[in-house]
Structure 1
Amino acid sequence: MQKQFGLPKTEFGPLKVVRIFDPGTNQAWAFVVIDNLKRGPSLGGTRMAPDISVLEVYGLASAMTFKNAAARLPIGGGKSGIFGDPVYYRENPEEKKRLITMFAEAIWPVKDYIPGPDMGTDEQDMQLIYDTFTGLNGAPNHGRGGVGRPPANGGLPLDEWGLTAHGLYAAAKTAQEYEPGFSIKGSRIIIQGFGNVGCPIAEKLSADGAIIVGASDINAGLFNPGGLDIEELARIRKEKGGLSRYHGKAEIMFTGKELPSLMNLPCDILVPAARPNVITAANADSIRAKIILQGANNPVDKATESWLQEKKGIACMTDFIVNAGGVIACAAELRMDKDMPYAEEVREEDGLGRAFLEKLVYQTVSDNVREIYSRLKSEKDKKLTWRDMAMALAKDRLK
Structure 2
Amino acid sequence: MADAGSGMATLAHQAHKGSPLEMALEQLEKAAALAGIDEGLVKILKTPKRSLTVSVPVRMDDGRIEVFTGYRVQHNLARGPAKGGIRYHPGVTLEEVTALAMWMTWKCAVMNLPFGGGKGGVICDPRTLSPRELEQLTRRYTAEISVIIGPDRDIPAPDVYTNPQVMAWIMDTYSMQQGRPVPAVVTGKPIAVGGSLGREQATGRGCAIAVEEAARRIGLRLEGARVAIQGFGNVGRYSALSLEAMGARIVAVSDSSGTIRNPAGLPVRELVAYKRQHGHVMGFPGAEAAGGPDRVLVEPCDVLVPAALEEAITAENAGDVQARLIAEGANGPITPEADAILARRGITVVPDILANAGGVTVSYFEWIQGLQEFFWPEEQVEQELSRRMRQSFADVWETARRYGTDLRTGAMVLAIQRVAEATRLRGVYP
| TM norm structure 1 | 0.88
Q: Name the residue aligned to 2:384.
A: 360
Map residues 262-341 of structure 1 onto 2, 5 A cutoff: 262-310=296-344, 312-340=345-373
Q: Name the residue aligned to 2:410.
A: 389
For residue 155 of structure 2, give the secondary structure of its aligned residue in structure 1. Answer: strand
The answer (yes or no) to whether the contact 2:226–2:248 under 8 Å persists in 1 is yes
| Residues 1:172 and 2:217 are matched in the alignment | no
Give the CA deviation at 1:3.
Answer: 4.2
Q: Distance in 1 between matches of 2:83 and 2:340?
A: 29
Q: Deviations over 1:56-99 (max 9, x none)?
A: 1111111100001111111110001122224334xx32222122
For residue 63 of structure 1, give the secondary structure of its aligned residue in structure 2. Answer: helix
Q: Name the residue aligned to 2:202.
A: 163
Q: Distance in 1 between matches of 2:179 and 2:56?
A: 26
For residue 234 of structure 2, give the secondary structure of its aligned residue in structure 1. Answer: coil
The answer (yes or no) to whether the contact 2:77–2:117 under 8 Å persists in 1 is yes
Q: Deviations over 1:240-288 (max 9, x none)?
A: 54113x331223332xxx3212211111111011111111112111111
Q: Distance in 1 between matches of 2:110 and 2:88?
A: 26
Q: Distance in 2 between matches of 1:32 and 1:132?
A: 17
Match of 1:193 among 231, 246, 252: 231
Q: Which has the higher helix share?
A: 2
Q: Deviations over 1:298-339 (max 9, x none)?
A: 1113342232112x1100101111211111111222222222
Match of 1:35 among 70, 75, 79: 75
Q: Distance in 1 between matches of 2:363 and 2:393?
A: 21
| Residues 1:135 and 2:176 are matched in the alignment | yes
Q: Name the residue aligned to 1:109.
A: 147
Give the CA deviation at 1:142.
Answer: 6.4
Q: Distance in 1 between matches of 2:306 and 2:240?
A: 12
The answer (yes or no) to whether the contact 2:199–2:363 under 8 Å persists in 1 is no
Q: Distance in 2 between matches of 1:142 and 1:159?
A: 15
For residue 242 of structure 1, give the secondary structure of its aligned residue in structure 2. Answer: coil
| Matched AA of 1:105 | A
Question: Would the alpha carbon gap of residues 21 and 370 (structure 1) be closer, same or farther in structure 2, given more than 3 Å must change?
Answer: same
| TM norm structure 2 | 0.82
For residue 70 of structure 2, give the secondary structure of its aligned residue in structure 1. Answer: strand
Q: Distance in 2 between matches of 1:373 and 1:296?
A: 20
The answer (yes or no) to whether the contact 1:64–1:77 under 8 Å persists in 2 is yes
Match of 1:248 among 281, 285, 288: 285
| Residues 1:375 and 2:410 are matched in the alignment | no
The answer (yes or no) to whether the contact 2:183–2:193 under 8 Å persists in 1 is no
Q: How many residues align?
A: 377
Give the CA deviation at 1:116.
Answer: 0.3
Q: Name the residue aligned to 1:220.
A: 258
The Cα RMSD (Å) is: 2.3
| Matched AA of 1:292 | I
